[in-house]
């Protein structure tokens, strides 16, 4: 699994460009907040992966759900932006993006609707994850 990008640092609003991604591969992204003691109850960190204004992955992180793992594909060759918007949050982060062989055996975003669903073969295993959805909603979002 070749690494596309590995980065760590202080949490801040930022855009990170991932250049030269292509539709012949799929990619995994792990964005993780470190030092959960530094995240107060109002802390929110919105992480998205976008290409040409199209959101491929998006999730809001907080002390109860402090990381995002997802695999994704790009609709066309080119750059992708990882956008991070921190609100009332302090601490540090780690980001790891890897390139994988393309396969329909592993869930990969965007698959928000039937038009983007993966074709799967009957009788074959399919591997998936659910971290791209909120498992523990933030307190102010739970109402």
Which tokens sit at 19?
């250049």
Give the integer Cα–Cα distance in Å for 5 and 22: 15
Q: What is the pTM of this model?
A: 0.81
Query: What are the tokens at 53?
Result: 């204004």
User: What is the SS3 assignment for 140?
Assistant: helix
Q: Does 2.60.120.680 match the CATH number of domain 3-133?
A: yes
Q: Where exactly are the structural domains of the chain?
A: 3-133
Taking only the tens place, the pLDDT of each residue in 12-55 is: 999 999 999 999 999 999 999 998 888 888 999 999 999 999 99
């Amino acid at each position: 699994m070749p690494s596309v990008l590995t980065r760590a640092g202080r949490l801040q609003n930022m855009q990170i460009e991932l250049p030269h991604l292509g539709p012949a591969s799929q990619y995994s992204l792990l964005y993780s907040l470190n030092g959960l003691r530094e995240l107060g109850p109002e802390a929110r960190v919105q992480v998205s992966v976008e290409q040409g204004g199209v959101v491929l992955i998006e999730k809001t992180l907080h002390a109860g759900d402090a990381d995002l793992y997802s695999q994704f594909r790009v609709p066309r060759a080119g750059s992708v932006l990882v956008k991070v918007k921190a609100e009332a949050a302090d601490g540090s982060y780690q980001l790891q993006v890897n390139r994988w062989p393309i396969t329909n055996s592993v869930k990969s975003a965007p698959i928000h609707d039937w038009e983007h669903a993966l074709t799967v073969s009957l009788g074959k295993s399919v591997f998936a994850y659910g971290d791209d959805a909120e498992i523990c909603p933030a307190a102010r979002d739970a109402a």
